[in-house]
């Protein structure tokens, strides 16, 4: 089946904005926490313009990630992806269940309502399509349960 430009673009945007960009942010923090020892981190100059509570949060994140072993890191990676996937799935389900309701959030792609592409959905629902979109478009693999 050949999908419309709108269908393809919607899937790419949903996965990019609700999954991949957020996982990239997590990965950046995780990788920084693994990039040096706690001693090396403590020797880094601190940003004098950073509010003390934000510096404390940054320090706590570093320590947390730094102390994780490989198995714990992999488990946390899957958990973070699972949370992102569940959030996207629930968001799409809420939109889908209220498409015909006046209280609907509403969703458009290229100026067209998503209702106009629902006939293309292989799964029959926006939230079901998320499984397919992650498999096809995500840099981080398939949906995590």
Does residue 60 belong to any structural domain of this protein?
A: no
Does residue 11 belong to any structural domain of this protein?
A: yes
Cβ 27 vs Cβ 142: under 8 Å:
no
pLDDT at 95 over 80: yes
Cβ 65 vs Cβ 30: under 8 Å:
yes
Cβ 33 vs Cβ 65: under 8 Å:
yes
Candidates 135, 139, 110, 106; CA nearest to 123 is 135
Domain residues for 96?
5-32+70-137
pLDDT one-digit tens code per residue, 13-43: 999 999 999 999 999 999 999 999 999 999 9
Share of the chain above pLDDT 70, in %: 95
- In eight-state DSSP terms, residue 20 is I
Does residue 95 belong to any structural domain of this protein?
A: yes
Q: How many domains does the chain have?
A: 1
Cβ 83 vs Cβ 25: under 8 Å:
no
**Beta partners for residue 109, in sequence order:** 112
pLDDT at 126 over 70: yes
Cβ 66 vs Cβ 33: under 8 Å:
yes
Name the more confident of 17 and 98.
17
Does residue 44 belong to any structural domain of this protein?
A: no
User: What is the model's pTM?
Assistant: 0.87
pLDDT one-digit tens code per residue, 32-73: 999 999 999 999 999 999 999 999 999 999 999 999 999 999
Does residue 49 belong to any structural domain of this protein?
A: no
Does residue 37 belong to any structural domain of this protein?
A: no
């Amino acid at each position: 089946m050949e999908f419309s430009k709108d269908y393809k673009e919607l899937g790419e945007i949903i996965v990019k904005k609700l999954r991949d960009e957020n996982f990239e942010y997590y990965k950046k923090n995780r990788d920084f926490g693994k990039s040096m020892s706690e001693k090396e981190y403590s020797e880094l100059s601190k940003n004098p313009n950073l509010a003390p509570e934000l510096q404390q949060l940054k320090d706590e994140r570093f320590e947390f990630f730094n102390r994780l072993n490989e198995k714990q890191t992999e488990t946390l990676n899957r958990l973070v992806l699972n949370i992102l996937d569940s959030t996207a799935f629930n968001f799409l389900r809420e939109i889908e269940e209220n498409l015909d309701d006046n209280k609907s959030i509403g969703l458009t792609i290229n100026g067209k309502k998503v209702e106009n592409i629902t006939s293309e959905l292989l799964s029959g629902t926006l939230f079901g399509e998320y499984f397919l979109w992650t498999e096809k478009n995500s840099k981080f693999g398939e949906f995590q349960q």
